[in-house]
Amino acid sequence: MLKFILRRIGASALVLLGASILVYVLTINSGDPLKDLRESNAQNKQQLIDQRIALMRLDDPWYERYWDWLKGVGGCFTGNCDLGVTINGVDVLGLTQQAASSTLRLVTVSTLLAIVVGIALGILTAIRQYSGFDYSITFSAFLFFSLPVFWAATLLKEYAGIQYNNWIAVGQYAPWTIVIAAIVAGFLLQAVLGGSRKRRLVTAAVVFAFVTIMLFVFNSLDWWRNPMFGIGGVLVVSAAAGVLVTALVAGLRNRRALYAAGTTVVVGVVAYLAFAPLLVNSPSWGLLAGLFVLAVLVSVGIGAAWGGYARKQVMLVTGITGVITSAMVFADLLIAHWSSFLGVKSRPISTIGSQTPNFTGGFWEQVLDLGTQILLPTILLTLVSVASYSRYTRSSMLETLNQDYVRTGRSKGLSEREVIVKHAFRNALIPITTIIAFDFAGIIGGAIITEQVFGWKGMGALFQDGLNAVDPAPVMAFFLVTGIAAVLMNLLADIAYAALDPRIRR
């Protein structure tokens, strides 16, 4: 495996070298870097032209400039990274760090969400092939996949941003809006759950009544402007998640896994009560990271203590449950500070930029600001990726479910959960792993339109600004980040193959 990885790294390095030469040559020949100065009416125009020629070394052969750039990249391995300067004399390394941080923050969140939601929907549609749920998800997937990104982004800015900001000033749904929302929810859920006509009607009626009552209650409590969740909400949602994780991973018959998940939830809620004063009065990212690591370690430790004959399986259950419980605690803290956030930023959903200039709120208000800034572009990228992940997963699962070893597992008396989770899903993940690797690497470069519409100064803006100015330094920095991301993700995909299928290790 080590030799295989080293060979892949060597081959990838050669591919990056050849591609970097091609990109450099294409960039410097894509236009005139002196065009704006030639059209200038400044009295010192010639002096400005001479300065730019000297700065960009336009009188030197292209291969000498490329070689100097390559030596600067090589210096990154010794701590002396030099990616050059822009056409205006700004250090490209600093710009790249800021742009990569902004883009990776956007891409990582949207990709993780798309993977979880897309794979889950793909599995469910494969299991319930040709059902109302399958047809609903299929229609939605093709719809979202075919939407032009710039058009969908504009719709999100208008209705999920501007219109929401207008509505939250009052925070009350009109009665007719509640009725329409309840009708839509009832129709969608009955289509998803399926069944006989009578069952569909009952499902739609129950959902309609529930949504109507809850929205009227939220209106009366002014919940949308002063939301409440609390310890009880954290406990209920985390406990439900623990039961669901146990059912999927170990099965509800495994009482040790179920008790371990419950213990994890209770310990998490008690720890939340203990650390709440510190989280409210002295929060920091370091504190949150430290508590999250501690929560995962304690959760895994609980699984090891309860595990018995199925220790690894129970540890996986408690680990996932601990992560979900930590996420619910984090969500509760954000919800508790929503009203104070509205006091600082009356129009909360941002439609432009990656952060609010001169924001003066506290720590949790700043977290909410970063979250609302990233919300719309994340939704857009997630919807597009979920559409492809769900279709690929469905296709792969359907192919796997028809294999002989799956039929053999069923004939041996294995439960449907074991057949799907342990046998079908693991083998179906192999082609999906390739798609995820390419998608993550590609979305870093493919988020250019999204970043432009939402005004994010990320890798897309760095690439576009460099290309418009015929400036190779920012373009090559963009290539360096996206190229390394592509190589790294494909390497991780190869390693994941060996973990998923032992035959590949040989």
Instruction: Give 177-205 pLDDT, tens digit per residue.
Output: 999 999 999 988 887 777 788 888 999 99
pLDDT at 133: 81
User: Would you place residue 441 in the very low, low, confident or very high pLDDT band (cuts 50, 70, 90)?
Assistant: low
pLDDT higher than threshold 80 for residue 447: no
pLDDT higher than threshold 80 for residue 445: no
Give CA–CA dist 133/189, Å, rounded. 9
The answer to whether 476 and 69 are in contact (CB under 8 A) is yes
pTM value is 0.83
β-bridge partners, 91: 85
Phi, psi (degrees; rounded to nearest 5) at 392: -65, -40
- The angle subtended at Cα 56 by Cα 50 and Cα 57, nearest 5°, is 80
Instruction: Give 238-271 pLDDT, tens digit per residue.
Output: 999 999 999 888 888 889 999 999 999 999 999 9
Q: What percent of the chain is modeled with pLDDT above 70?
A: 97
Per-chain mean pLDDT for the chain? 88
pLDDT at 502: 64
Using left for φ > 0, alpha for ψ between -120 and 50, and beta otherwise, residue 196 falls in beta
Q: Give Cβ neighbours of residue 42 (< 8 Å, ≥ 6 apart).
A: 48
Q: Give Cβ neighbours of residue 248 (< 8 Å, ≥ 6 apart).
A: 417, 421
Give CA–CA dist 206/202, Å, rounded. 6
